[in-house]
Copies of this chain bind each other. A is one copy, B any other.
Amino acid sequence: MADGINRQILLVEKPTGKLAPSHFKMSEAAIPEPKDGEVLLRVRYISLDAANRAWMHGATYRSAVEANTVMAGGGIAEVVTSKAPGFAAGDIVFGDTGWQDYAAVPAKHLSKTPRIEPMTHLLSVYGIAGLTAYFGLLHVGRPKAGETVVVSAAAGSVGSIVGQIAKIKGCRVIGIAGGKEKCQWLTSELGFDAAVDYKDGAVFKALRAAAPGGIDVYFDNVGGDILEACLPLMNLHGRIACCGAISQYDGVPSATGPRGIPGLIVVKRLTMQGFIVMDYMDQRDQALADLQAWVAAGKLKVQEDVIDGLQNTPQALIGLLAGENRGKRMIKV
């Protein structure tokens, strides 16, 4: 990175089908000057999330990302200069920095984080991923000891933590992931009771075999066919925590929804509940205390997939959407 230069990755075109490198362009600008109420940030790590792709479809829980602007994305950054009370040079913050070296961001959109080592944990287990897993499983899924919990995208940043928390809470845990290697990793390294490889044929049959007593909680990261496969296996009064719909993000969203809705919802008296982590931020301290204690006790393993270099961000997101990561993927800027 040359002095005084801010490298940026622009979204130059909104994809209508699959996301490709050609939708992005590397560009250079001057390092911005923070205005009053803003801070200038040096971005350290950029978070890669399936949601990045969903933002390109239109407004979700945030406004849509627009073509010919710096691609949006959460990151961990260090304050360079501050024109906002409460922030000083050297502070570590989390916020939507976008895909660039430097960002001038209104302080009210930033949250200060403790200075912990490794800093990457602020994006994985103590970041959005860990908190999403924590609140989604415990507050939406509400598993009881002895119940069967199924999680999809189980080798991903959120899923890998969901499954481990469910084990800590005394549940039987089944992960759904793509590929033998990931499945092997879930059972041998993370302590999952079983894993189903969705690339290896019919998910429904494999899942039925892995969950002979049915499913009490399904933590859904993917939607689509896998949600459809889980529905008939849900037990009475089962809960489906709707966290995301990765299967629908990259390409044209499906013209239909999962079969069995609402019929099976009624007959089995299921609850399907959507959530986003921001709705639970008032309970963040408790969540972080629990997560830290579990990590310290060796009960919760943190898996990270750190890729070096801002220029690799587009390809890293494309790969994440294709399921090539294990644990939390991020870019070291």
Residues of A whose CB lies within 8 Å of any CB of B are: 60-61, 220, 223, 227-228, 240, 242-245, 248, 253-276, 279
Contacts and interface: CB of A to CB of B under 8 A. Distances in A.
A263 B61 CA distance: 11
10 contacts: A61-B267, A227-B261, A242-B265, A242-B266, A245-B266, A257-B259, A258-B262, A261-B272, A269-B276, A271-B271
A1 B270 CA distance: 45
Given A258-B257, A261-B223, A274 B279 contact: no
B256 A60 contact: no
A254 B262 CA distance: 11
A289 B279 CA distance: 37
Quickly give the copy total for this chain.
Answer: 2
Nearest to A267: B60
B263 A223 contact: yes
A265 to B, nearest CB: 4
A28 to B, nearest CB: 34
B276 A266 contact: yes
B271 A261 contact: no
A92 B240 CA distance: 41
B259 A256 contact: yes
Which 6 pairs of residues, A with B, have the shortest CB-CB distance? Answer: A256-B256, A257-B257, A265-B274, A257-B261, A266-B274, A242-B262
Given A256-B256, A259-B256, A270 B274 contact: yes
Nearest to A60: B267
Given A261-B261, A271-B272, A266 B244 contact: yes
A251 to B, nearest CB: 13
A272 B263 contact: no
A223 B259 contact: no
Q: Which of A254, A270, A274 has the most CB of B within 10 A?
A: A274
B273 A271 contact: yes
Contacts of A255: 259
A268 to B, nearest CB: 7
B266 A259 contact: no
Nearest to A248: B263
Contact of A263 (B245, B260, B262, B271): B245
Nearest to A268: B274
B276 A272 contact: no
